[in-house]
Chain A
Amino acid sequence: MPEHEPLILTPTARLARTLAREVAAVRVARGERAWVSPRILSFPAWLASVRGDYFLSTDDPRVPIDPQQALHLWQSLIDRDVFVGEPRVAELALRAWRLIHEYQLPPPERWPALYLSEDSGRFQDWAARYQTLCARQNLVDDWSFYAELPQLLRDRRMAVTGTVELAGFDLPLTPLQQSIVDAIASGGAEVRTRSDAGQQHARHSAPDQVAAFADPDDELAAAARWARARLEADPGARLAVVVADLSARLGLVDGAFRRVFDPPGFALEQPGPEPWHVSLGLPLARWPLVSDALAVLALDERGIDQPAAGRVLRSPFLSGYEPAGGPRDRALARLTRDAAYRVTVYELQRLLEREGANDLAAALGAWQQYRRQHAGPAWPSEWAARFQQELNQLGFGRGRSLDSREFQVLRRWHELLESFGALDVVCDGPMAHPTALRQLTERAGNAVFRESDPGAPVEVLGVEEALGSRFDALWITTLDSDSWPGAVRRDPLIPAALQRDVPRATSDGCLARARLELDGLLAAAPEVRTSFSRGSDEDAREASALLQECTVIEASAPELPETAPQTYVADDVQAPPLIDSGARGGVGVLRQQSECPFRAFAERRLGARELKPPRPGLNPGQRGTLIHQALEQFWTGLPDQAALNALSVAALEERIGAAVAAALTQLTERYRLLLTDTGRRLEQRRSERVLQRWIHLEQRRASFAVVDHERDVDIVLGGLILRGKIDRIDRLADGRTLLIDYKTGQTAKASWKPEPRMGDPQLPAYAVALDEPPSAIAFARIRPEALAFDGLADGDVGTNGITDLAAARHAFKDIDDWSELMTSWREHIEALAGDFRAGRAAVDPRRGACTYCHLHALCRIEERAPFVAYADDPEPGTGPAAAPEGDDV
């Protein structure tokens, strides 16, 4: 190897890559097509290679461990301590450990007791245990080793020969780096600081103006527009945009630049190549590929929650993926609508098969099988293998073909798995599944993935990455007084008094550091622009005081888009009339038409059904069904009240118990994981309780016979055939009938007031349409806190709560007799039916109808009448109004 080539060390890996690219560009420009790669390394990378060489070429008995392994050790000893179960403290310890070595602070064991806060005291303790642990296992972490390096070099137990060149160190070396460099020099190598000719153009004077933007997004957009204009003028230019809080805003940068550089691509056309590159990356766990992999690994083979199932069904990385709208998407919609919050793998498989997603169904089965067989504790390396196997079972990585970015992420993921396997070395023994998964997930959250730079002319950089580079033009954003100088960052685990010389740990240090950084940045290009953003009204910001003599130029607000020419279709309230006379979905349409004609049209004739995912536990609708079925069961074979009253107390109890149990069985067969065993027991008990009280009410009524339960009827109204189901029909002592509607929600017979927009036309509709018109209708309100009949009758029917029409007040006070009521009902209901049939679909909600309607976006009610849609809003701070108890069936 041509050792005479100097070794070039840079502060950051990015700078090393950039320098290598610069060399390449120079070589290519000279016409060369291959060359021996220059030796350019970032300081940390070089240290790592030195460490590797050392342990290869010496007999040092220790085994070096990497930060991930060290983290595991810290975790193991902090976890064992009584802390709040917060393993992340280990990350803090790791960081403090590093800082101590980087800045050559006194080692914890030498900290005077007087200096110790609770935090530093604890850390001192942990550090001692950590060191004991390392010594016992013969391990040495990177920082402990680097701290030995100067001595090793001076002792000639390690040698660095030739020339070492330091490039791009705009900030002073850390004390440890300085010691190492000094030791290299004393060992005979030549150490020099690189000064490139041709970079003397750099200026150090402060800029004379700084632009103020309203918010950071505007600022970034302006920087992107500037970069594009600059490149259009000079295609060869190398540009940089510096963002002080880049890591916090990573997610936005890409979009901001794409919007400017590639508007069609931003608007979802096939994106073009990206002439910008962002120097930081998101945590690996946040890249969709890894996030999906982790979601798959986190699946529970005993039962899958809807959110987790949704992730699997929508993951494009699993084999057999199809573009939007395919079988898996349909299965997802069905899952959302029809399944319980938690489903068995079996249920999920059936659902997938029903929609034709057979491959995924099969894969799930195979996965479940594998998981069941490989659940016991194992070494990290075994877990790595198992995890991969699980992913393979589901065809992970073999779905939609991967693009180059996804390939890179996949590779990084594989590296992560491999390094996870390397925890074997620091582990005591096999790990349980949850531990392994949690550790892997944590590591994926800490590891960063950054895409490789294709040589983009525009770089978006954090301050540290930008220092030391040279550009043709540079835009420094975020130059506000909160960020420059930044806040003091003292390490909480190290006594404050010992950190006086750590740059970021004191306010003076911060100020000095900020000045250095700003000087460095100002020198990085012949053309420098500066800006900051004012921030929100809540949190207004000023320009950094470091830009003393600078004029603040207020940037103009971004231009509003040109408004599109618009037209108006007047009164679009009329849809095509129904072709046939069968309404879809039954009698409920009347209520919808009454609530809001548009809603009836949208739900019934456009298929705008609500797609709201379930929550854990029984929902009100399921509970209603349960009560319905239990009551049906209860009355089956019990002809009338006499028979009911003939039952002994014990027999009655038993009958109720059996009815509820049967209904519960039906329910849980449909939704296997809807109720746990305890849940089922509790539900059985509460249902029995409420039914007992209910039956007690029935026992005290005037005598009756139950004619029918859950009777299917087809009724014809206003030319519309409607399908319905009458919960119960009773025959009263005088031979007339009573229609009963079981409700587990709220009821009010005022909703039967005969008017064009009736609150609840359902029972009246049955009443007027049946061949044998009833003489009474009633809600059976089965709510524990308000158990009662709530009805209206022609005369007294001997049941509390079922009022004689003649005595009824309020809504019915002007109606003289039953037949007038029936006529009036018929008239209004037929009108409703007729309106629906005729396609009348005005957006015209009854008061309060919008509150629980899911169609706001479709009917555009807020645009039409902004205040109709909302009930009075509560005082600030109080939550949203509670939803009503669901209607039954």
Chain B
Amino acid sequence: MSDVDARRGAVDPTRSVIVQAPAGSGKTTLLVERYLGLLAVAEAPEEILAITFTRKAAAEMRQRILRFLDPGFRTDAAHEQGALGKARAVAERVAAWGLRENPQRLLIRTIDSFNHYLARTMPVASQLGPVPTPADNTQALYRRAARRVLTLADGSDPMAEHLQRLLDWRDHRAQDIENLLAALLGKRDQWLRALGVSLPQRERLEAVLAAVVDHQLESSAEQVDAVLQSNACNPWELVELLRYAARTLAAKGRESAILAYLDGDALPQADAGDLPRWRALAELLLTGKDEVRKQVTVGQGFPPQTAEKARMQAVLEALAGDRALAGALAKARRLPEPRYGDEEWAVLDSLIQVLTRTATELEVVFASAGQTDFNGLAAAALRGLGDADNGYTDLGLYLDRRIRHILVDEFQDTNWGQLHLLEKLTAGWEGEIPPGQLALWEDEGPDAAVAERAEGRPRTLFLVGDPMQSIYRFREAEVGLFMRSRDQGVGPLMLDDRRLRTNFRARAEIVDWVNTRLGPIFPDREDVAAGAVAYAASEPGRPGGGAVEVHAYPSDTAEADAVARLIAEALAEHAGNADFRAAVIVRARSHLAHILPALARHGVAYRALQLDPLASRPVVQDLIALTRAILQPADTTALLALLRAPVCGLTLEALWKLAGDGRGLMDSDALQRLAGDDGERAARVFGALADAGNGWRRRPLRDLVEGAWQRLGGPACCTHPATDLQDAAAYLTALDQADADGLLDDWNDFEERLAVQFTAGDPPGGGAKLEILTMHGAKGLEWDLVVLPGLNRTPGGGDADLLHWLPFIAPDGDEQVLFAPLRAAEEQHNPPLIKLIRDEQRARDTFEDQRLLYVATTRARERLVLSACLDPNRDEIRPDTGTLLADLWPTTGADFVAALQQTAPDAAAAAVGARVDQQLRRVAAGWQPPRGERFAWRASMPPRETARALEFNWAGAQARRTGTVLHRLLEQVGRFGIEGLDAEQQRRLIERIPRLLRAQGTRPDQLADASAVVRDAFAATLTSDSGRWVLSNAHRDAACERPISGLVDGELVNAIVDRTFVDADGVRWIIDYKSGHHAGADLAGFLAQERERYQGQLALYRRLFEQLEGGRVKTALYLPRHARLEIVE
């Protein structure tokens, strides 16, 4: 099928399709075109869901769609015409939807963001509750959950036994177990699902194990068969010889694996039960070094000068040197017995119990912290969507629209969780419409449901990706799922298989090189279970004119220098081309150790996009030191670091003096030990820290750190200001976030958080045409010149995981998981089962490395340079295993060797010694950081602040409740005056007292007492002369709760006066109700106290009224519980 046909099929909006789109095949345009085409058949844009791999890709896709929808958009590019036509066709619908004004309606999301959306949409069904934006880093919460579970070891919880067993098995290394649990929580989606797949029962797990062993034996058996056949070796002859050997050995009473053949009557089968015979066969045919034997001896059961020995020798001659045979048998003989030891099982079982409990605990921890992580969201989304047993959730009940079309980009990097999500989203798409859903379509217009059926409105799935570019295994991407979906569909949905071949990006030479050099190293056959992808050749879509070069050098420094020179020359050559771009792409950041200095030597400006650990940047280290010095003022090291940083820059001698030769630099006269310039420098640091101390817990930690940094002139002392300031900002943001998450209470938590923060790299701009990045970072991008240096380097970093498991795709397409037991602390080596898993993992890593090479090499448009460093003094020049070069060696090794021979020996001489720079950089003496000027401002009418009691007093609160109710009652009476209050009204008011008190929060058992207090005071007031006078309506201008405002001493006062009126003498009364009560003797003293206490407040009111209306004013307190009016002067 031509690309044109394949593309046409791929955008057919009525078909579900899976598209294999290799590098440079124009995948993005295809996606956009499909999306635009779907707009024509959808009733609303919300019916179409597009899932991208990164947020960036989502934003780009959205922008491209919007660009096509812009009526003014024109394009001449041939491959965009299809999309343009579809965009024009839907212009009217788009306008009606207001889509261009409201691009939020385009449901284009990453899987994480879609999960978030779903979980938020169904907080109950997803069992997650209100969902905050998921945090990127919840390591501290994992740890908290792990710790909580670990504390259960000490109690009556059923977990105690499991935990103790686990701890005992691992030598009571509780901190390691904590680390293990915390780390595993981050991957809990995998093992929780795995545990769901294979219920953690011994038989089930052992059955999986047996299946894996069988599977392995199957391939061994096939290979052995093939070898025997091709060497015209009769299997029955071999069986006979084996039996003979076994009998001989038995007769001599010798131990040997071959003894298993005493009653053997056939070659071993692909069955774990036959393992002993496999070992026998291997023992007979292979040496201890896994090579085919050259001869047999009595040790194998063949005494000299027997006919059998001669027959056996003949067989061995036929098989001599056969590597395939050796490999197959070697593998088989190492396979573990497919069962766990009893103790192993007990520990594994305990671990599983503990893990499951930890996951539950994590949910509790998340809930109380109001946080979650992406795993939590994914699980919640899956829960929310229901399942086959209990029915799938109808999203139409939650959303405006049901999703009818789904597009998934980068499908090669999908994982099981995502696949399950897709399965649930598309559940029932092929089948009948569930009856319960019919009526709901009524909302979408009359008879929508019926219409939908009649028209057969399609629901489609579109998956696109390139299995050859699947490089996210470390994130559990399972490339086999692409093949599985292609072959078996997704859920009940079958997919059309479409494959693109043309590479529009690279020059023909590059495409051909990749076809001929990478093609052959890919596995011949794809293997869904093992994640092995077959190579699909591309056709060049561009004419020739490009180049592929292979270089090799004798040393890292020589390589670095040559690479730098090559780039410098290329950039010079294309200086006239403003669009020319080059990239250096490495597998790991450490591979740049020599190249970056070499680039600097050759004067090449570059923009590093690789992600350094944030904490490795000097500017960040200064900020960390500041943070520590502020958080832990007694941290000497942090203080010393500040004193040594460029902002201060004390010499070793000055530091030593200040530190009093190690006795300490925290004593108050430390500064006295320094004089002159040194003293001034140090004083700046001490001063800034002292001020930070004053701001401690007054301003956010972030502001204290940044403020102190400003104060010291930190920003002015950066060596690369643009990059450094960006890194500083990233650190401060991380600090602020960590502060909000409560991580600063434990520096370990903060460090753990920091350890996973990375720099963004150099900011754009600055005109650098060279970019430096990692292979993973380069995915999806392209350059004119791509240089891949250091192909000989090992990736480094091994995993020290304690728990090993291996998910794989069983032949029926289902997920299976193999669990290895935990290694006991006493064991020096991994048991066979762990080895099996690790070997399997390694094999998958090798497949992934091939794909990584494919990704890296296909980034080049015009010129591709591969380079490696090789030791010319070796007898046989060859790469280390585990390197990309080793993968490439079968097809390209000769080129590298030839290149190495061509490299002039003097190229090696360019090496530059890596001496550590010993100078001290610091600001010039007497320099002062810029201070900036304060904006002068004063509030014109600041609100007056009232003094407050420091202590909260519960008794006071009780009194306030009764006080408030009394107040309100008196207000009610005062409104109309006591004269207007008849007995009936009074009775009703009194009846309301308990209710009013309850409304204030009084609890049932105190209601009676509190009510009595209020009732008595109310009654006393109403009967007393003073009370009746205060509440009388005979006064002029009487009011309750009178609000009054004014300016007092330049401050704005808003007051509310409980009771005010003008009496017959024209005196303005201001009365505040106070519900205080004094039980004992010395009432007079109490009253005096009260007067004193409220004098200020009343004086303020007095001033306000004087300012308002002049005249005579009297202020008083009214104490209803004593029925007393106390005049306050």
Q: Which of A84, A87, A333, A561 contacts B127 (CB 8 A)?
A: A84
On whether the beta carbons of B996 and A868 are closer than 8 Å, the reply is no
Chain A residues 22 to 50 lying within 8 A of chain B, measured CB to CB, are 24-25, 27-28, 32-37, 39
On whether the beta carbons of A421 and B957 are closer than 8 Å, the reply is yes
Chain A residues, Cβ within 8 Å of B950: 397-398, 402, 410
On whether the beta carbons of A255 and B703 are closer than 8 Å, the reply is yes
Q: Which of A388, A453, A563 contacts B952 (CB 8 A)?
A: A388
The closest CB in chain B to the CB of A414 belongs to B952
On whether the beta carbons of B825 and A785 are closer than 8 Å, the reply is yes
On whether the beta carbons of A682 and B168 are closer than 8 Å, the reply is yes
On whether the beta carbons of A611 and B929 are closer than 8 Å, the reply is no
Chain B residues, Cβ within 8 Å of A122: 124
Task: Identify the interface centre among A21, A258, A406, A615: most chain B CB within 10 Å of its CB.
Answer: A615
- Asked whether A418 is an interface residue with its Cβ less than 8 Å from the other chain, the reply is yes
Please encode chain B, from 908 to 926, with 1 for each CB lying within 8 Å of some chain A CB and 0 for all others. 0000001011111111110
Q: Which of A87, A402, A425, A542 contacts B998 (CB 8 A)?
A: A425
Distance in Å from the Cβ of A161 to the closest Cβ of chain B?
A: 13
Q: Which of A251, A252, A679 contacts B153 (CB 8 A)?
A: A679
- Asked whether A4 is an interface residue with its Cβ less than 8 Å from the other chain, the reply is no
- Assess A564 versus B995: contact at CB under 8 Å? Given A510-B102, A610-B637: no
- Asked whether B716 is an interface residue with its Cβ less than 8 Å from the other chain, the reply is yes
Task: Identify the interface centre among B46, B707, B711: most chain A CB within 10 Å of its CB.
Answer: B707
- Asked whether A649 is an interface residue with its Cβ less than 8 Å from the other chain, the reply is no
Chain A residues 87 to 125 lying within 8 A of chain B, measured CB to CB, are 87-89, 91-92, 114-120, 122-123
Stretch at the interface among B286-294, B535-543, B1040-1048: B1040-1048
- Asked whether B1036 is an interface residue with its Cβ less than 8 Å from the other chain, the reply is no
Distance in Å from the Cβ of A54 to the closest Cβ of chain B?
A: 11
- Asked whether B370 is an interface residue with its Cβ less than 8 Å from the other chain, the reply is yes
- Assess A392 versus B920: contact at CB under 8 Å? Given A123-B124, A316-B696, A425-B1001: no
Q: Which of B746, B748, B923, B1104 contacts A564 (CB 8 A)?
A: B923
- Asked whether A814 is an interface residue with its Cβ less than 8 Å from the other chain, the reply is no
Q: Which of A231, A314, A422, A569 contacts B922 (CB 8 A)?
A: A569
Chain A residues, Cβ within 8 Å of B588: 872-875
Please encode chain B, from 633 to 667, with 1 for each CB lying within 8 Å of some chain A CB and 0 for all others. 11111101100111001011101100101111110
On whether the beta carbons of B702 and A251 are closer than 8 Å, the reply is yes
- Asked whether A844 is an interface residue with its Cβ less than 8 Å from the other chain, the reply is yes
Please encode chain B, from 1044 to 1066, with 1 for each CB lying within 8 Å of some chain A CB and 0 for all others. 11110000101000000000000
- Asked whether A205 is an interface residue with its Cβ less than 8 Å from the other chain, the reply is no
Chain A residues, Cβ within 8 Å of B717: 563-564, 566
- Asked whether A233 is an interface residue with its Cβ less than 8 Å from the other chain, the reply is no
On whether the beta carbons of A685 and B168 are closer than 8 Å, the reply is yes
- Asked whether A288 is an interface residue with its Cβ less than 8 Å from the other chain, the reply is yes
On whether the beta carbons of A676 and B154 are closer than 8 Å, the reply is yes
On whether the beta carbons of B939 and A34 are closer than 8 Å, the reply is no
On whether the beta carbons of B932 and A493 are closer than 8 Å, the reply is no
On whether the beta carbons of B56 and A422 are closer than 8 Å, the reply is no
On whether the beta carbons of B934 and A261 are closer than 8 Å, the reply is yes
- Asked whether A735 is an interface residue with its Cβ less than 8 Å from the other chain, the reply is no
On whether the beta carbons of B935 and A232 are closer than 8 Å, the reply is yes
- Asked whether A863 is an interface residue with its Cβ less than 8 Å from the other chain, the reply is yes
On whether the beta carbons of A269 and B622 are closer than 8 Å, the reply is no
- Asked whether A1 is an interface residue with its Cβ less than 8 Å from the other chain, the reply is yes
Stretch at the interface among A464-472, A616-624, A699-707: A616-624
On whether the beta carbons of B652 and A864 are closer than 8 Å, the reply is no
Chain B residues, Cβ within 8 Å of A402: 950
Q: Which of B736, B793, B954 contacts A384 (CB 8 A)?
A: B954
Chain A residues, Cβ within 8 Å of B696: 314, 316, 324
- Asked whether B708 is an interface residue with its Cβ less than 8 Å from the other chain, the reply is yes
The closest CB in chain B to the CB of A882 belongs to B800
Stretch at the interface among A173-181, A363-371, A481-489, A756-764: A481-489
Q: Which of A39, A56, A336, A873 contacts B589 (CB 8 A)?
A: A873
- Assess A878 versus B747: contact at CB under 8 Å? Given A59-B988, A490-B121, A569-B922: no
On whether the beta carbons of B1104 and A34 are closer than 8 Å, the reply is yes
On whether the beta carbons of A679 and B154 are closer than 8 Å, the reply is yes
Stretch at the interface among B190-198, B339-347, B361-369: B361-369
Contact residues on B (Cβ < 8 Å of other chain), bracket:
35 or more
- Asked whether B525 is an interface residue with its Cβ less than 8 Å from the other chain, the reply is no
On whether the beta carbons of A263 and B916 are closer than 8 Å, the reply is no
On whether the beta carbons of A616 and B150 are closer than 8 Å, the reply is yes
- Assess A785 versus B827: contact at CB under 8 Å? Given A507-B46, A863-B618: yes
Chain B residues, Cβ within 8 Å of A33: 1046-1047, 1107-1108
A21 to B692 alpha-carbon distance, docked (Å): 35
A273 to B940 alpha-carbon distance, docked (Å): 12
Please encode chain B, from 363 to 402, with 1 for each CB lying within 8 Å of some chain A CB and 0 for all others. 1100110100000000000000000000001101111100
The closest CB in chain B to the CB of A573 belongs to B918
Chain A residues 596 to 623 lying within 8 A of chain B, measured CB to CB, are 601-602, 604-613, 615-619
Please encode chain A, from 255 to 282, with 1 for each CB lying within 8 Å of some chain B CB and 0 for all others. 1001001111111110011010000000
On whether the beta carbons of A492 and B120 are closer than 8 Å, the reply is yes
On whether the beta carbons of B129 and A86 are closer than 8 Å, the reply is yes
On whether the beta carbons of A567 and B922 are closer than 8 Å, the reply is yes
Chain B residues 675 to 726 lying within 8 A of chain A, measured CB to CB, are 688-698, 700, 702-704, 706-708, 710-711, 713, 715-719, 721-722, 725
- Asked whether B105 is an interface residue with its Cβ less than 8 Å from the other chain, the reply is yes
Chain B residues, Cβ within 8 Å of A61: 995
Stretch at the interface among A146-154, A194-202, A304-312: A304-312
Q: Which of A419, A537, A864 contacts B916 (CB 8 A)?
A: A864
Chain A residues, Cβ within 8 Å of B590: 867, 870-873
Chain B residues 604 to 625 lying within 8 A of chain A, measured CB to CB, are 613, 616-618, 621-622, 624-625
On whether the beta carbons of A605 and B625 are closer than 8 Å, the reply is no
Q: Which of A333, A616, A677 contacts B635 (CB 8 A)?
A: A333
Q: Which of B104, B624, B746, B1002 contacts A507 (CB 8 A)?
A: B104
Chain A residues, Cβ within 8 Å of B929: 267, 564
Chain B residues, Cβ within 8 Å of A273: 937-939
- Asked whether B450 is an interface residue with its Cβ less than 8 Å from the other chain, the reply is no
- Asked whether B443 is an interface residue with its Cβ less than 8 Å from the other chain, the reply is yes
Q: Which of A286, A388, A488 contacts B954 (CB 8 A)?
A: A388
Chain B residues 950 to 980 lying within 8 A of chain A, measured CB to CB, are 950-955, 957-958, 960, 968-969, 972
- Asked whether B302 is an interface residue with its Cβ less than 8 Å from the other chain, the reply is no
- Asked whether A852 is an interface residue with its Cβ less than 8 Å from the other chain, the reply is no
- Asked whether B948 is an interface residue with its Cβ less than 8 Å from the other chain, the reply is yes
- Asked whether A877 is an interface residue with its Cβ less than 8 Å from the other chain, the reply is yes
- Asked whether B941 is an interface residue with its Cβ less than 8 Å from the other chain, the reply is yes
On whether the beta carbons of B397 and A495 are closer than 8 Å, the reply is yes
- Asked whether A332 is an interface residue with its Cβ less than 8 Å from the other chain, the reply is yes
A261 to B957 alpha-carbon distance, docked (Å): 41
The closest CB in chain A to the CB of B57 belongs to A538
A55 to B996 alpha-carbon distance, docked (Å): 8
The closest CB in chain A to the CB of B764 belongs to A537
- Asked whether B999 is an interface residue with its Cβ less than 8 Å from the other chain, the reply is yes
- Asked whether A575 is an interface residue with its Cβ less than 8 Å from the other chain, the reply is yes
On whether the beta carbons of A119 and B123 are closer than 8 Å, the reply is yes
Please encode chain B, from 989 to 1002, with 1 for each CB lying within 8 Å of some chain A CB and 0 for all others. 00110011011111
Chain B residues 111 to 132 lying within 8 A of chain A, measured CB to CB, are 120-125, 127-130
Chain B residues, Cβ within 8 Å of A36: 1042-1045, 1108
The closest CB in chain A to the CB of B668 belongs to A325
- Asked whether B906 is an interface residue with its Cβ less than 8 Å from the other chain, the reply is no
Known: A307-B745, A842-B916. 9 other contacts (CB 8 A): A1-B1040, A37-B1045, A117-B393, A267-B931, A268-B688, A273-B938, A490-B400, A564-B927, A857-B621
A-B contact pairs, 22 of them (CB 8 A): A34-B1106, A36-B1108, A88-B129, A119-B123, A264-B934, A268-B695, A272-B934, A288-B698, A308-B745, A310-B746, A381-B957, A425-B1003, A490-B400, A567-B925, A606-B656, A613-B746, A676-B153, A857-B622, A862-B616, A866-B616, A867-B592, A876-B774
Ranked nearest first, the 5 interchain pairs of A and B with the lowest CB-CB distance are A874-B797, A263-B932, A422-B1001, A872-B796, A34-B1046
